[in-house]
Every structure is written in C-alpha cells, then in structure tokens.
Structure 1
C-alpha cells in the first residue's frame, strides 16, 4: 500500500504542476484506456503524454506503441515516461519503446 500511496502522490504533483501552468490534464487508469483515448482523439489534440510504466491491463512500454498508430501526430507527440524504475536499463527500455524522456518518481515539484 505504501508504494501505491507514493505513486498517487507523484500523480497528484504532476497533475497539479501541469494545471498550474495552464495545461488541460486528462487521465487514463491503465495503458488500454490511454491508447483508446489517443485513438479516439482528433489529430494533434494531445500535446504531451506522461506515461506511467507500471499500469494495469497494459504497461507503459506496451502503450507507447501508439507511435505505430496510423495517424500523423502519433509519431511526434512527446511521450515522457514516469517510473520509480530509474536504472539505466529502465531508461533505455523507455527510449526503445519510443518515449522521448524519463522522469523518476517520486516527483519533486522543486525540480
């Protein structure tokens, strides 16, 4: 339960920081829902995707396959990984999955 609580804190911090900057934040509870949201959205609707790596139903590495959707924006929308897994191998796997950047949890709003 402690890990889940810390993940929720990181989620809350990220959501609040983005909202304070004027971003409209939409969330998905798992990777399947994330891919579904992207597929149903108008082209260029999403400007950035923060992708948790450890999600139910479909993990973030698999969900990053949105890069292969048949739509022009899928190739270019920035995907930023958020994960407590911050070893070099984890960061490499995120890049190989098509993600642009890796942020380690717990997020620190001062960074």
Structure 2
C-alpha cells in the first residue's frame, strides 16, 4: 500500500492473533513516517477510562466505545482529521 491511500484506520481492539494495541504499535514503528503517523481510532466494547488510556498509550489518536454512536464517531473522525491537517 502506498502512503496516502487511506486517511485513517478504525481499529478493533479484540482481534485474533494480534490485538488492536499490538497492531497500532506495529504501525507506529513503520519506517515510512507517513504510514506510521496515520490516525488510528480505537473501536471497542472496552469503554472504561483505563481502556481509553491503554488505547492512547498504544499510540491511537481517539477511542470510541461500542455500540457505536454515529454522531460520536463523526465527531471523532473530524477531530482526528482536523488535527492531522494542522
């Protein structure tokens, strides 16, 4: 995949083989800086403050709890993309 193909990643936390925290850390350590800095939004049923902190500590830019509230998702996406532009 070339840089700039995607604007952001919606990352599930509970996946088989590699969880979303590990996947985010792999992305953050890519040699291609543009790919490594892609915004990542956690989407998870883990909705406690410690879960949110863990997502940010892993390098994610935002955290959305399931079930997904479309308006909260819209706000999170716009916030992340606006920060990326600045």
> TM tier, shorter chain?
0.7 to 0.9
What is the count of residue pairs matched by the alignment?
71
Match of 2:48 among 87, 95, 105: 87
Please list every run of at least 4 consecutive aligned residues from structure 1 whose deviation after the TM superposition is greater than 4 angstroms: none
Aligned equivalent of 1:107: 68
CA RMSD across the alignment:
1.2
CA displacement, residues 19-66 of structure 1 (integer Å, 9 cap, x when unaligned): xxxxxxxxxxxxxxxxxxxxxx10121210000000111000000020
**C-alpha displacement at 1:76, in angstroms?**
2.1
Matched residue of 2:70: which SS? coil
- TM-score, structure 1 as length reference: 0.60
Which ranges of structure 2 fall in alignment gaps of 5 or more residues? 73-86
Q: Whose radius of gyration is greater, 1 or 2?
A: 1
Aligned equivalent of 1:36: none
Which ranges of structure 1 fall in alignment gaps of 5 or more residues? 1-40
Conserved? CA contact 1:68–1:74, under 8 Å: no
Conserved? CA contact 1:78–1:99, under 8 Å: yes
The alignment status of 1:44 with 2:4, answered yes or no, reads yes
